[in-house]
Amino acid sequence: MSASPGVPAAAWPAAAGAVLAALSIGLSAYAAHGVDDAHARANLQTACLHAFGHGIALAALWPRAARRLARSALLVLLLGTLLFSGSLVAGALAGWPTRLAPVGGTLMILAWLGWAVSAVRRH
């Protein structure tokens, strides 16, 4: 598979971001209409908010991530989002512990800081 000049050949992180955003919409609707427990509903809504926002960011920013630091930051963002949102969803729907949420949140923070450093370095 070839790519246009300046566009990374591997587009799967952008596609993963779009899928995260799509899943978050469905899960948000389920939380609003199918979950009676207020705490579980709040955790699902929080997971959806982060998955949607970071999914959109991945879909939009990946094609612009030409440098290794930028790509690495976005991959860490994807991992952090999966850990954070996934932990909250698993806790709300299956009663699993949400121990990975803080790890995911920390990774998201570090990813955005990495993106910021990458942005400053390219100018």
Give the model confidence (pLDDT) of 36-46 as tens digits: 999 999 999 99
| Residue 1 domain flag | no
Mean pLDDT, residues 99-103 = 98
Number of domains in the chain: 1
Asked if the structure places residue 86 within a domain, the reply is: yes
Asked if residue 5 belongs to a domain, the reply is: no
Supply the range of the domain harboring residue 25: 12-121
37 occurs within a structural domain: yes
Q: How confident is the model at residue 1 (pLDDT cuts 50, 70, 90)?
A: very low
**107-113, long-range: CB < 8 A, 24+ apart:** 107/76, 107/77, 107/79, 107/80, 107/83, 108/50, 108/54, 108/77, 108/80, 108/81, 108/84, 109/80, 110/76, 110/80, 111/73, 111/74, 111/76, 111/77, 111/80, 112/73, 112/77, 113/73
Read off the pTM.
0.89
Residue 6 lies in a domain: no
